[in-house]
A = this chain, B = another copy of it.
Amino acid sequence: MKISLMHGAGGEVMGEVVDLFSKITNTNAGGIGLEALDDGAVIPIGGKQVVFTTDSHVVRPLFFPGGDIGRISVCGTINDITMMGGKPLALSCGLIVEEGFDFEILGKIVESMDHALCEENVALVTGDTKVMERGALDQIAINTAGIGVADTIIRDNGLKPGDAIIVSGTLGDHGFAVLASREEFDFADQIVSDVAPLSGMVHSVMKSGTIHAMKDPTRGGFASAINEMSKKSNVMIRISEENIPIRSSVRSASQLLGIDPLEVANEGKVVMGVPAEEADSILQILKRHRYGRDAAIIGTVTKGQGVIMETEAGGERFIEPPMGDPVPRVC
């Protein structure tokens, strides 16, 4: 068997690669390990819960409306730490770059990383640099790993019947911004990536509210994240289509290209399940934050299995877990 693009697309097919790693003898350092397949691992150290996670980034183009590979490489890891309930402390940077890459462009990428780090007051404390000869790598790949500390660990499997499902804003922006910057659309300039670090916003929710489960809907989009949450929590989720916030420009692009906005990556959004009685107050906290202005309550959790969409037309259909993200190299 050969590796296909879908093996890196964050959906069901990627599971075949992850399965290889799951066979490793020791996948847990005393807290939450690889077997949980959550956004990050947790390791107890000195009475603290240390969250540890990593993401590599190979997005094309390197600069797209709303962000660039530097910003995304910092936000990806900050957000996975955050999704575990962690406060991010420090990141590493594993830079791999092609011979001949422009030094000034690298400088701009690093500046953009700095900007995202400063937003959440996270340090970049260690790194590594490798250069591959011309032709051996398409320009640049950036890995970051990160550590944080969680007072309260939040899993992706903690949904309970009765919970409300909230998304922190419009869905599909990043995937379609990347697509639009590759093709030439009329409305391309209206689609801007949502790439953003969510630690501040999520911790302001955690300070005064309860989150039962959360996940960042990155590769595979909302459809992938919500199915994983449903399956791992062993609950059914009912989503109301008319309440899902989607920008009209994204909707137009999605119709033009035949790509479901629920299946493409978001890089600055969180999907959370919260107790019904707290849903409104949490929504208000989110809406007060610059990255949560378009937050919405979009569904409820019930007993059962699977994710059902109540369509605007009045019907019902399953939201299936996607095989992978339809946009290659989206992050």
Contacts and interface: CB of A to CB of B under 8 A. Distances in A.
Interface of A: 1-9, 14, 16-18, 20-21, 23-29, 32-34, 40-41, 43, 45-48, 50, 52-58, 89-90, 92-104, 106-107, 110, 113-114, 117-118, 121-133, 135-138, 141, 143, 145, 147, 149, 328-329
17 contacts: A1-B102, A2-B101, A5-B133, A6-B131, A8-B97, A21-B110, A26-B122, A28-B123, A29-B125, A46-B46, A47-B47, A50-B50, A52-B92, A56-B128, A57-B130, A96-B141, A143-B143
Instruction: Select the residue from A24, A53, A126, A138 with max chain B CB neighbours within 10 A.
Output: A126
B4 A131 contact: yes
Nearest to A58: B130
A106 B52 contact: no
Given A2-B102, A113-B24, A121-B26, A58 B96 contact: yes
Contact of A23 (B32, B50, B114, B136): B114
Contacts of A7: 97, 129, 131
Instruction: Select the residue from A20, A101, A129, A136 with max chain B CB neighbours within 10 A.
Output: A129
Contacts of A137: 136-138, 141
Give how many copies assemble into the complex: 2
B89 A29 contact: yes
A117 B26 contact: yes
Contacts of A33: 123, 125-126
A258 to B, nearest CB: 21
Contact of A29 (B90, B97, B114): B90
Nearest to A76: B128
Contacts of A135: 138
Contacts of A52: 90, 92, 125-126, 145, 147
A102 B25 CA distance: 22
Contacts of A53: 92, 126
B45 A125 contact: no
Nearest to A48: B46
Contacts of A26: 117-118, 121-124
A82 to B, nearest CB: 14
A34 B143 contact: no
A187 B231 CA distance: 57
Contacts of A41: 90, 92, 125-126
